[in-house]
Amino acid sequence: MDTWLLHRMRELRDLQGVIGLATWDQETYLPAKAGPARASQLSTLRGLYHERLVDPRLGDALAQAATQTDLSEDARAMVRVLTRERDRQVRVPGALVKALAEAQGRSLHAWREARTQKRFSLFQPHLACVLELRREQADAYGHDGERYDALLEGYEPGMRVARLTPVLTALREQLIPMVATLASAQRALPALFDGRRYPQDAQWAFTMRLLKDVGFDLEAGRQDLSIHPFTGGTHALDVRLTTHVDESNPLPALFSTIHEAGHGLYEQGFSPEHHATPLAAAPSMGLHESQSRLWENLVGRSRPFWEHYYPHLRAAFPEALADVDVDTFHGVINHVAPSFIRIDADEVTYNLHIALRYELELLLIRDALPLDELPAAWNERMRHYLGITPPDDTRGVLQDIHWAWGEFGYFPTYTLGNLYAASLHRAARRALPDLEGHVSRGELLPLRDWLRTHVHAHGFRTPAEERVRDITGQGLTDADFLAYLRDKYGALSGVAL
């Protein structure tokens, strides 16, 4: 490939890396007074990135490369991925980008105020404005009559409403009765977090041990603390994870670390020859999330995992866990109960929270639901899907930041992550017949290596669903996820699901 084009690809990656560093720092160590300066620095860097990306010379070089017949398969994929990203950016007029950024800022502010006052009506006019601009943006990107597709494409390239809706609807119809059965069948569990103390140092040490065992390379990354855990960084050899420690409850730190490590292993697993190219990225948010959910839920909440780790956890917190055995602990971390807040939901009810959001945001983008009816539509679905009614809008329609930020099309990637995770885990069990034995001995590297070979190393070469199909023999399906839930929660609750 043309050296100018390769050089430009490297420049774009470098800019992304520095933006990643400044963003990570903003969420971890930035002194309080430096906020406005950092916002300005990031805005300048993003402007430079945009300028470099929409540069007509890059458009010409990509168009020229696309006609070359002697390019390797990887080089063709690089050209395809960067062309797609550039085309999307070029199609949106600068005035619309600016209007969206300003509307997002106002909307975020109004959303915070509306949450404090528990009143959706304060947020409603700002949501209307962001929605209208996102519809305009969808039209600018282009679509076949379904605007939501153009937005979904930004998070889950290749996925379409026509493909997604039947899968999510069928999943919803299976989950509603499963949740109702489990809610009445589970045994009562002791409160592990009432007045018990889990010192920060011991939590930190335990999470660092987990990172080492799972094969996260601490010489090519690090872990720090933040309010909301995330994975960021500058490069595949500089991956920054964060976790959150609560001294009254060790679960947020444990499961945040395992979750973010799943994301981090993906980032560290890109092929070295792709590092300075557009291929050092996941092909979709859903596939990225499949890695975090696979480690967090299918491994980290499994019985074999805690057979190995529970004695170590108990040794780390000898007082708090003195009267708690592994069965009880395993029951507590897999307790299923309808709840109002998505981010606190268990893995069975979680996808009903997503179904609700997906259905509503699809109606909103289609302009088929008047905004003043949104809180009631939310509450009605909560009643129907989970059997509970939010006591106020803060625990209902106002709980997530996504819509305030204009992120329509993002929510379904969480469920795609869960479904892909279950299908990939099933394939891993077939390929590694002693996987459960490995996990029960704390040997996590065979699974990491299998994921690295089959998922991580491919980067952005093939679309997410195609990658999954190549591995499992089938594309998007709810069958593996439902089979996993029926097995696990049937055994835990003692009832057939």
Of residues 1, 54, 21, 91, the one with CA closest to residue 279: 1
Measured torsion, CA atoms of residues 483, 489, 492, 497, in degrees rounded to the nearest 10: -80
Q: How far is the CB of 136 from Zn ion (least distance, A)?
A: 29
Residues of this chain, 285-314, that bind Zn ion according to CB under 5 A: 292
* Spatial contact of 279 and 77, defined as CB atoms under 8 Å apart: yes
Rounded Cα–Cα distance for residues 298 and 300 (Å): 6
Q: Which is nearer to Zn ion, 277 or 418 (CB)?
A: 418
DSSP string of 373-421, one letter each residue? GHHHHHHHHHHHHHS---SSGGGTTTS-STTTTT--S-THHHHHHHHHH
DSSP string of 243-254, one letter each residue? E--BTTBSHHHH
Q: How far is the CB of 418 from Zn ion (least distance, A)?
A: 11
* Spatial contact of 211 and 258, defined as CB atoms under 8 Å apart: no
Q: Which is nearer to Zn ion, 207 or 292 (CB)?
A: 292
Q: How far is the CB of 229 from Zn ion (least distance, A)?
A: 9
The beta strands (E) that lie in 192-328 are given as: 221-225, 231-235, 238-243
Q: How far is the CB of 17 from Zn ion (least distance, A)?
A: 20
Residue nearest to Zn ion (CB): 292
Q: Which is nearer to Zn ion, 223 or 292 (CB)?
A: 292
Q: How far is the CB of 263 from Zn ion (least distance, A)?
A: 6
**What are the two backbone dihedrals, phi and then psi, of residue 459, each rounded to the nearest 5 degrees?**
55, -135
> Integer distance in angstroms from the first to the last C-alpha of the chain?
55
- Residue 117 makes CB contacts below 8 A (sequence gap 6+) with none
Return the structure tokens found at 229: 């855990």
Number of residues that bind Zn ion (CB under 5 A): 1
Rounded Cα–Cα distance for residues 323 and 189 (Å): 13
Q: Which residue reads 């859903």 in tokens?
A: 286
* Spatial contact of 451 and 269, defined as CB atoms under 8 Å apart: yes
Q: Which is nearer to Zn ion, 123 or 230 (CB)?
A: 230
Q: Which is nearer to Zn ion, 292 or 349 (CB)?
A: 292
H-run or E-run covering 205: helix 200-214
- Residues serving a catalytic function are 260
Q: Which is nearer to Zn ion, 198 or 460 (CB)?
A: 460
Return the structure tokens found at 20: 């990643």
Rounded Cα–Cα distance for residues 27 and 44 (Å): 18
Q: How far is the CB of 447 from Zn ion (least distance, A)?
A: 18
Q: Which is nearer to Zn ion, 226 or 292 (CB)?
A: 292
Q: Which is nearer to Zn ion, 296 or 361 (CB)?
A: 296
Do β-strands 231-235 and 238-243 pair in parallel, antiparallel, or remain unpaired?
antiparallel
- Count, residues in the chain: 497
Rounded Cα–Cα distance for residues 458 and 344 (Å): 32
Q: How far is the CB of 259 from Zn ion (least distance, A)?
A: 6
Q: How far is the CB of 230 from Zn ion (least distance, A)?
A: 8
Query: Residues in the site for Zn ion, rule: CB under 5 A?
Result: 292
